[in-house]
Amino acid sequence: MAILPITLFGDKILRKKVGTIKEVDNETVKLIKDMFDTMKNANGVGLAANQVGINKSIFVADISMVEGYEKTKPMVVINPKITFRFKEKSSVEEGCLSIPEVRLNIERPKNITLVYFDTNMKKHELEADELLARVIQHEYDHLQGVLIIDYVSDELKENIKESLEKIKKGEVETEYPTCLPADRLQGKRDYQLK
């Protein structure tokens, strides 16, 4: 198990729709374990594979450290598809490990229905609400190449433009290892702790 560097905003992989997983091999199992370690190290509640530079349709989520959700089990979600979004919405502040120090109020459906596969490639259908629904939608968006900044007005984007430019250049401090686009393109998966 290893802690992987988290890809920062500006990397093209965060804007691409990821590839479907056909089978769960040893490499995928290792990736899942590493993703959980990486997410927990960064105090996150969800992490998509493309956030660690991997073009696979998989995300992990664990909200059990949030008050009121202690009994919620960690999830491994492979090849997900949101099949239904309920009409009722709520607006809640969200952050993103790939866009550190930026927090935005994002309006999302309060309830969703998700179809996905587990590590045995067994199909599941889940109806999720509140925080779990929000985390699933956030991570699902990552797999579609969508980021939280895509939900806000042009005016608000203008307000955070300077912060986004700093993130692109790696001029942001994080408590977890990160990877700049140039590092990943040069095959440098080593990283610096800032």
- Residues annotated as catalytic are 139
In 3D, which of 9, 194, 36, 192 has the Cα closest to residue 100? 9
Tokens of 19: 């590839």
**Whole-angstrom distance between the N-terminal and C-terminal Cα of the chain?**
22
Rounded CA gap, 74 and 80, in Å?
16
- Cβ atoms of residues 57 and 18 within 8 Å: yes
The identity of residue 27, as a single letter, is E
Here the contacts of 102-107 (C-beta below 8 Å, separation 24 or greater) are 102/148, 102/149, 102/160, 102/163, 102/164, 102/167, 104/148, 104/149, 104/151, 104/152, 104/156, 104/160, 106/138, 106/148, 106/151, 106/152, 107/151
Contact (Cβ atoms closer than 8 angstroms) between residue 140 and residue 80: yes
